């Protein structure tokens, strides 16, 4: 099976300075044409944390649907600001689990299992000590998923490439390219990590004029093959 997976921090659909314009972000996702995409910052941060990415527009503009799960609040799209969109045929078979994470700030990850693949979407903390603890817990979780292909991806908030990722030694970590800040990307904050049963065919950063306006992060993507599985 070959899949196109992606990760995208939407920055609450406000671009760098506003205004709120979710249609831009949805067009970026549509242009990317992923089978599965992990999203961060899909909700506003304060109060009832209402959705910043309107669910009513998602399928019409991208062909994708959100996975079913318990969200942060009644008007939220995600949990801790995170959601995963999939092709409808994949979403109908997917199961989702929320993974609370340690750290100074409230953080969590989303684990979505479909067709022998477990995808874990993350938005790690701002403090390196928190990120290390969060990755250690996620790596321990991944080690217990015997038989599954594992993809861990999202906004790692880690600007160094030589420290902070020690817990992921059992996975293949890639940084497709600079993704932050979107107008002049220099930092590789957005990353992916794969188990040995996943072959990465191609990967990259979706760097378009629209993507540079739509968020403070650029999306990252990869085309992967799940070894030992037919199309």
Architecture of domain 2-226: 4-Layer Sandwich (3.60)
To which residue do tokens 């902070």 refer?
164
| Cα-based distances in Å from 122 to 7, 115, 154, 170, 182 | 9, 20, 5, 18, 19
pLDDT digits (tens, 9 = 90+) for 172-181: 999 999 999 9
* Residue 167 to residue 135: CA distance in whole angstroms: 6
According to the model, what pLDDT value does residue 228 have?
A: 64
* Residue 35 to residue 79: CA distance in whole angstroms: 21
Residue 73 reports pLDDT greater than 80? yes
3-state helix, strand, coil in the chain (%, to 5): 20, 35, 45
Q: Read out DSSP for 73-88?
A: STT-SSBTTBEEEE-H
Q: Read out DSSP for 156-194?
A: -----SSSS-GGGTTSEEE--S--BSTTS--B--EEEEE
According to the model, what pLDDT value does residue 157 have?
A: 96
- SS3 track for 39-75: EECCECCCCCCCECCCHHHHHHHHCCEECCCCCCCCC
pLDDT digits (tens, 9 = 90+) for 156-205: 999 887 789 999 998 999 999 999 999 999 999 999 999 999 999 999 99
How many residues appear in the chain?
231
Share of the chain above pLDDT 70, in %: 98
The domain limits of the chain are 2-226
* pLDDT (average), residues 95-121: 94
Least confident of 106-120, 140-154, 194-208: 140-154
**Pairing state of beta strands 107-114 and 117-123?**
antiparallel
* Residue 231 to residue 229: CA distance in whole angstroms: 7
- Token representation of residue 145: 């998923």
pTM: 0.95
* pLDDT (average), residues 96-114: 94
pLDDT digits (tens, 9 = 90+) for 213-228: 999 999 999 999 998 6
């Amino acid at each position: 099976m070959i899949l196109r997976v992606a990760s995208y921090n939407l920055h609450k659909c406000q671009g760098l300075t506003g205004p709120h314009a979710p249609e831009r972000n949805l067009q970026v996702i549509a242009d990317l044409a992923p089978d599965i995409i992990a999203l961060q910052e899909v909700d506003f941060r304060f109060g009832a944390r209402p959705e910043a990415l309107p669910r009513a527009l998602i399928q019409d503009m991208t062909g994708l649907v959100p996975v079913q799960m318990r969200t942060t609040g009644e008007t939220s799209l995600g949990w801790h600001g995170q959601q995963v969109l999939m092709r409808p045929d994949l979403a109908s078979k997917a199961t989702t689990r929320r993974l609370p994470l340690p750290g100074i700030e409230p953080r969590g990850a989303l684990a979505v299992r479909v067709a022998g693949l477990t995808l874990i979407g993350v938005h790690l903390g701002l403090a390196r000590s928190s990120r290390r603890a969060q990755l250690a817990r996620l790596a321990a979780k991944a080690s217990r998923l015997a038989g599954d292909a594992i993809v861990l991806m999202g906004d790692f908030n880690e600007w160094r490439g030589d420290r902070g990722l020690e817990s992921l030694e059992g996975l293949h970590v890639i940084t497709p390219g600079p993704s932050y800040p979107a107008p002049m990307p220099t930092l590789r904050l957005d990353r992916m990590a794969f188990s040995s049963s996943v072959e990465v065919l191609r990967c990259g950063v979706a760097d378009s004029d629209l993507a540079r306006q739509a968020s403070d992060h650029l999306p990252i993507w990869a085309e992967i093959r799940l070894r030992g599985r037919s199309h």
